[in-house]
Amino acid sequence: MKIIMLGAPGAGKGTQAKMIADKYNIPHISTGDIFRSNIKEGTPLGMEAKEYMDKGQLVPDDLTVRILLDRVSKDDCRNGYVLDGFPRTIPQAEVLDNEVAKLGQKIDYAIDVNVPDEAIVRRMGGRRCCPKCGATYHIEYIRPQKEGICDECGSDLILRDDDKPETVLKRLEVYHQQTQPLIDHYSKLNILRTVDGTKDMQEVFEAITEYLEA
Ligand code: ADP
Ligand code: AMP
């Protein structure tokens, strides 16, 4: 089961990818999480990625593709994976399609979580993340049991650096220019399903599992 999640930043890809990964017992792979953990550890990769992320830009394809291919070559990916935030450009999608084809396999499902830009800005302003385990909450819509504290590991929740309003607008612009064309790409491969991401998270998840189990 190889699944990719498409959608604007803040559409709910990570929230749904985690639920998919738990239900089907496959790894949830987020290139954004990989970059953030490298930034936290101060690695050269993290330092390079941070320059782009802070400006709301995409990290260059060669670097991003390298870390993604390295991750999906690990043993735990043998039965599939759910990719969250990759691919984000047509060249990234082409490399992924080719690499998977070399193994005699293919990407099975592409899910587009569709949320209009106005709602995105509200969602990202209220997003709070756990810097330790990566869990994501929202101050209005998906609250932790105790305000400001991660339900899963008890760490203090933070506002991501790139969730500031001016960076969010830049990320949305980059999404429309560089990532939205992937919807067409996967639609032509006949594996795309668009779900209404404005519904509550359980309803979105039901629409997704209905597609995965059809
Ligand atoms: P992405 O991974 O696409 O950037 P997230 O999964 O981090 O998006 O979700 C963005 C924000 O919206 C988070 O604060 C999350 O808790 C919240 N969120 C996710 N899904 C929903 C939903 N269906 N309804 C309301 N808020 C949601
Ligand atoms: P995310 O956590 O998916 O919202 O990603 C946060 C940031 O990491 C993005 O705004 C990009 O700067 C960078 N990033 C994550 N995934 C990719 C990717 N596939 N290609 C390029 N940059 C990425």
Query: Tens of pLDDT along 148-183?
Result: 999 999 999 999 989 988 899 999 999 999 999 999
User: Over the chain, what is the mean pLDDT?
Assistant: 96
**pLDDT tens, residue by residue, 103-125:** 899 999 999 999 999 999 989 99
Cα(21)–Cα(148) distance, rounded to whole angstroms?
25
**Residue 90 has what pLDDT?**
98
Q: What is the mean pLDDT of residues 135-145?
A: 95
Give the torsion sign (CA, 26, 207, 14, 190): positive
| 202 C-alpha to ligand 2 centroid (Å) | 25
Percentage of the residues of the chain whose pLDDT score is greater than 70: 100
| 139 C-alpha to ligand 1 centroid (Å) | 11
Contact (CB, 8 A) for 39 and 131:
no
**Residue 176 has what pLDDT?**
97
Cα(14)–Cα(9) distance, rounded to whole angstroms?
10
Is ligand 1 within 6 A of the CB of residue 13? yes
| 7 C-alpha to ligand 2 centroid (Å) | 12
**Residue 161 has what pLDDT?**
87
Q: What is the DSSP letter of 58?
A: P
Q: Kindly give the number of the ligand 1 atom that is closest to the alpha carbon of 138.
A: 14
Give the torsion sign (CA, 106, 108, 114, 120): negative
* DSSP-based three-state secondary structure for 22: helix
Q: What is the mean pLDDT of residues 184-193?
A: 97
Report the amino acid identity of residue 97: D
The residues near 162 (Cβ < 8 Å, ≥ 6 apart) are: 53, 54, 56, 168, 171
Cβ of 109: how many Cβ atoms within 10 Å?
A: 19
Closest CA relative to residue 114, chosen from 212, 16, 2: 16
Active site amino acids? 13, 88, 127, 160, 171
Closest CA relative to residue 27, chosen from 87, 78, 81: 81
pLDDT greater than 90 at residue 10? yes
Ligand 2 pocket at CB < 6 A: 9, 30-32, 35, 52-53, 57-59, 64, 85-88, 92, 162, 171
**Residue 48 has what pLDDT?**
96
Helix (H) or strand (E) holding 2: strand 2-6
Which ligand neighbours the alpha carbon of 127 most closely? 1
User: In this structure, which residue's CA is closest to atom 12 in ligand 1?
Assistant: 123
Q: Kindly give the number of the ligand 1 atom that is closest to the alpha carbon of 142.
A: 16
| 105 C-alpha to ligand 1 centroid (Å) | 30
pLDDT greater than 90 at residue 94? yes
Would you mind telling me the total number of residues written for the chain in this entry?
214
Strand runs labelled E in 85-121: 109-114
Is ligand 1 within 6 A of the CB of residue 11? yes
Is ligand 1 within 6 A of the CB of residue 12? yes
pLDDT greater than 90 at residue 138? yes
Q: Kindly give the number of the ligand 2 atom that is closest to the alpha carbon of 92.
A: 19
Would the pTM of this model clear 0.85, i.e. be above it? Answer: yes
**Residue 78 has what pLDDT?**
93
| 185 C-alpha to ligand 1 centroid (Å) | 24
**Residue 191 has what pLDDT?**
97
